[in-house]
């Protein structure tokens, strides 16, 4: 290739304004490979990575970096990487090149493409096949950039947390996911989406101790957390009380609804043994919201509700509880909740009465929900994304892999330190 083509490749690689220039470009059609050789003029000076001062070249060592494919050809950059002498203050060190980070065998553009593919839902194994690389090398790139981006998250404005669990693999191996819940837009302020702040193994009280330490290490004040929403897990309750004593504990109201729904289904299963002709195959008839039922299903549920069934009575109690959410004023919701608890306790449905006892035991946290309306709902949506990624990847080898993917898809990380691997329309509004 001529000088014009070499200059074009130099511009594409971002070499303008640096001592580096493209010296040779070789296209091997048989091997399906493009090799770009870079060099610098004699007498060039480079910045020492420790001292920050320019120095002459001490010696060079050959290096190679994998770059984005050039059409159907694998592309590699080649250069003799200079080492410069910083004297006693810095010693002899390899310089930093503009197209790659130190110690990496990929260019920054190639690493940006790897991150982009996985961030937008492609499993790592498939992304590795797409760029014709080994999966373990792609994982190393992900670990580096996710750690860097996650380490730059600003926690100074965090005032609320949600704490939820998700499974690493089948069985009883769990991780705890701590999120900052999103805030709705007010006036001209933009709404802020939910983001994952911290992920740690287990689902016991120690996860809250680790969360507090994480917030402190990021330079934020854990005592500035005002509310924490969690389910009724005794372990989370204990951890919040010990490590976030100034935060108000908010119990996830929809967790209570889930508990009630499970109780209604348990009553149905027990009663279906007595009335199989009425209740067999009606599970989802009771569990679905009315708007999700067909006309025939609504009519069937209405007929069954007129029978003196324990299941129908429990379902009416569940429906009345759900109506409490519609109260706009806190006082109205509290009065309704007190009435509901008394109504259920006067019934003869022991499983439902057990739920009331649990509500009364966690009363302050439920009142906190009615006052703040803080729930784990947005965190559950993130959890759905996490489980989808896990299924697509067919599981993860260990916790560190799972943690990196959760941060990548759920933390809304900024990768401004990486170039864009795809063309950007300069006329497109941001």
Residue that is written with structure tokens 């060079």 in the block:
60
Question: Mean pLDDT, the chain, as a whole number?
Answer: 89
Predicted confidence (pLDDT) per residue in 8-36, tens digit: 888 888 898 899 999 999 999 999 999 99
Question: Which residues does 30 contact at the CB level (< 8 Å), separation at least 6?
Answer: none
Q: What is the mean pLDDT of residues 227-242?
A: 92
- Is the predicted pLDDT of residue 382 greater than 80, yes or no? yes
According to DSSP, residue 25 is labeled: E
190 or 180, which is more confident: 180
Predicted confidence (pLDDT) per residue in 289-334, tens digit: 888 888 888 888 888 888 889 999 999 999 999 888 788 899 999 9
- Is the predicted pLDDT of residue 104 greater than 90, yes or no? yes
Written as one string, the DSSP assignment of 275-342 is -HHHHTT-HHHHHS-GGGS-HHHHHHHHHHHTS--HHHHHHHHHHHHHHGGG-SSHHHHHHHHHHHHH
Q: What is the mean pLDDT of residues 140-162?
A: 94
- Is the predicted pLDDT of residue 235 greater than 60, yes or no? yes
pLDDT for 430: 42
Confidence of residue 376 (pLDDT cuts 50, 70, 90): confident
According to DSSP, residue 149 is labeled: H
**Contact assessment for residue 83 and residue 62, using Cβ atoms and an 8 Å cutoff:** no
Q: What is the mean pLDDT of residues 73-88?
A: 93
> What is the bridge-based pairing of β-strands 21-28 and 33-39?
antiparallel
pLDDT for 188: 42
Q: What is the mean pLDDT of residues 400-416?
A: 93
In this predicted structure, which of 134-148, 153-167, 374-388 has the lowest mean pLDDT?
Answer: 374-388
Tokens of 51: 């001292």
Written as one string, the DSSP assignment of 197-240 is EEEEE-SSTHHHHHHHHHHHHTT--GGG--EEEE-S-HHHHHHH
Q: What is the mean pLDDT of residues 232-239?
A: 91
- Is the predicted pLDDT of residue 285 greater than 50, yes or no? yes
CA gap 124, 354 in Å, rounded? 46
pLDDT for 429: 45
pLDDT for 328: 84
pLDDT for 73: 92
pLDDT for 190: 62
Predicted confidence (pLDDT) per residue in 191-214, tens digit: 678 899 999 999 999 999 999 999
CA gap 20, 35 in Å, rounded? 16
Confidence of residue 427 (pLDDT cuts 50, 70, 90): low
């Amino acid at each position: 290739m001529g000088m014009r083509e070499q200059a074009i490749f130099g511009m594409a690689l971002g070499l303008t304004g640096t001592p580096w220039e493209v010296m040779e470009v070789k296209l091997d059609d048989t091997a399906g490979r493009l090799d770009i050789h870079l060099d610098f003029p004699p007498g060039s000076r480079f910045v020492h990575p420790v001292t920050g001062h320019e120095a002459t070249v001490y010696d060079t060592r050959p290096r190679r970096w994998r770059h984005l494919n050039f059409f159907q050809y694998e592309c590699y950059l080649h250069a003799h990487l200079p080492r410069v002498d910083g004297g006693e203050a810095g010693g002899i060190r390899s310089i930093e090149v503009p197209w790659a980070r130190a110690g990496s065998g990929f260019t920054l553009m190639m690493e940006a493409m790897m991150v982009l593919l996985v961030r937008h839902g492609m499993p790592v194994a498939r992304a590795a096949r797409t760029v014709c690389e080994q999966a373990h090398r792609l994982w190393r790139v992900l670990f580096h950039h996710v750690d860097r981006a996650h380490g730059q998250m600003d926690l100074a404005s965090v005032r609320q947390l949600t704490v939820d669990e998700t499974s690493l693999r089948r069985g009883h191996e769990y991780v705890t996911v701590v999120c900052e819940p999103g805030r709705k837009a007010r006036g001209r302020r933009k709404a802020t989406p939910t983001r994952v702040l911290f992920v740690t193994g287990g689902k016991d009280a120690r996860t809250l101790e680790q969360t507090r330490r994480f917030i402190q290490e990021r330079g934020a004040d854990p005592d500035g957390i005002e509310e924490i929403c969690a389910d009724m897990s005794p372990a989370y309750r204990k951890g919040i009380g010990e490590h976030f004593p100034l935060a108000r504990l908010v119990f996830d109201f929809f967790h209570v609804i889930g508990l009630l729904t499970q109780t209604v289904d348990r009553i149905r299963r027990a009663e279906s043994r007595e009335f199989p002709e009425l209740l067999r195959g009606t599970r989802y008839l009771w569990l679905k919201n009315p708007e999700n039922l067909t006309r025939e299903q609504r009519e069937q549920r209405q007929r069954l509700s007129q029978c003196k069934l324990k299941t129908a009575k429990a379902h009416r109690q569940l429906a009345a509880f759900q109506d409490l959410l519609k109260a706009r004023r806190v006082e109205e919701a509290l009065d309704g909740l007190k009435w509901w608890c008394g109504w259920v306790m006067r019934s003869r449905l022991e499983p439902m009465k057990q739920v009331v006892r649990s509500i009364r035991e966690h009363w302050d946290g439920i009142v906190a929900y009615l006052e703040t309306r803080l729930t784990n709902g947005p965190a559950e949506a993130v959890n759905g994304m996490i489980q989808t990624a896990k299924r697509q990847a067919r599981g993860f080898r260990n916790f560190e892999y799972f943690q990196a993917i959760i941060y990548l898809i759920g933390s809304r990380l900024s990768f401004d330190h990486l170039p864009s691997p795809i063309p950007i329309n300069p006329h497109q509004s941001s």
